[in-house]
Amino acid sequence: ALDTIDNLIVASYIAVIIGVGIYFARRKSDKASDYFLASRTANWFVVGCSFFASNIGSDSIIGLSGVGAAYGIVGSFFDWGSTFFFLLLGWIFLPFFRKTGVFTLPQYLELRFDKSVRTYIAGVSLLGFVMVQYALTLYSTTVVTSTVLDWEEWPALLAIVSVTTFYTFAGGLSAVVYTEVMQTFLLLLGSIITCIIAVSEVGGLASLFTRTEDKRNLHLLRSDSDTPYSLLGLVLGAPFLIGWYHCCNQ
């Protein structure tokens, strides 16, 4: 179980998140653009932090750590490969979405085709989010919370869903992006400290490379086919997956 000071830190963090949701809920207007686009007032720094924190959650930290332990640094290919698609997002996709005045890809598909296409794509996307992405994120967050706070998993899950749902629905995107600024610094600080401790525990970087039994795990690109991250699979499949995730995943 955590010490008193640890519990106070966790409680303070939750209180700040709830407070942000209440603050923006009181400022909320009736316009959909204000609710979904934070009234278009977020500057580049806030947007950048939100973009970072939205892509690096508990599922990424826990999941990529597991992939790294099992298959090596090839698991980071998707992050390195995202660089090109971030440029496409900024230079092509976002300007196009802004020009057409849509918030999401299903909205554009309605303009391009008809409402039935929009409804179908929105339904498929929502089902995929709930069954895969959201489920994995909630599960990984629940595992961390229940382990750290010494709670049962169901109470931990309910607490996470309650707090997240409140500040998201109450404050809209404004509450989300501004809490993610704080979360960006916490994620970076925690990750840096964890990396330093982990590398120190194995005796430094040189010792880490020496103690790696399967040297293939030290390669970003692997030609062997006995891994889910084979070179052929990454080259043929990853661009489509990364492109959809970063450019069309609204």
- What band does 106 get if pLDDT is binned at 50, 70 and 90? confident
Provide the pLDDT for residue 197. 92
CATH node for 4-247: 1.20.1730.10
* Total Cβ atoms within 10 A of residue 179: 25
Q: Which long-range contacts (CB under 8 A, 24 or more apart) does 140-145 make?
A: 140/57, 140/58, 140/59, 140/61, 140/62, 140/63, 141/57, 141/58, 141/59, 143/62, 144/58, 144/62
Contact yes or no for 118/126 (Cβ under 8 A): no
Contact yes or no for 109/117 (Cβ under 8 A): yes
- Give the tens place of pLDDT for each residue, 140-172: 888 888 887 788 888 888 988 888 888 777 777
- Give the tens place of pLDDT for each residue, 3-41: 788 778 888 888 888 787 777 767 665 565 555 565 566
Tell me the domain boundaries of the chain: 4-247
Q: Alpha-carbon distance 232 to 187, whole Å? A: 33
* Total Cβ atoms within 10 A of residue 135: 12
Give the dihedral sign, CA 108/111/113/119: positive
DSSP letter string, 48-102: HHHHHHHHS-HHHHHHHHHHHHHH-GGGGHHHHHHHHHHHHIIIIIHHHHHHHT-
Burial of 93 (0-12, 13-18, 19+ CB in 10 A): middle
* Total Cβ atoms within 10 A of residue 228: 11
- Give the tens place of pLDDT for each residue, 164-210: 888 777 777 777 788 888 888 888 898 899 889 988 998 888 888 88
Angle between helices 231-247 and 77-88 (to 10 degrees): 40
Nearest to 110 by CA among 99, 118, 121: 118
Contact yes or no for 167/175 (Cβ under 8 A): yes
Contact yes or no for 176/28 (Cβ under 8 A): no
143's tokens: 């595992």
Provide the pLDDT for residue 27. 66
Contact yes or no for 166/159 (Cβ under 8 A): no
- Give the tens place of pLDDT for each residue, 214-238: 888 888 887 777 777 888 878 888 8
- Give the tens place of pLDDT for each residue, 53-105: 877 776 777 778 888 888 888 888 888 888 888 888 889 888 888 888 887 88
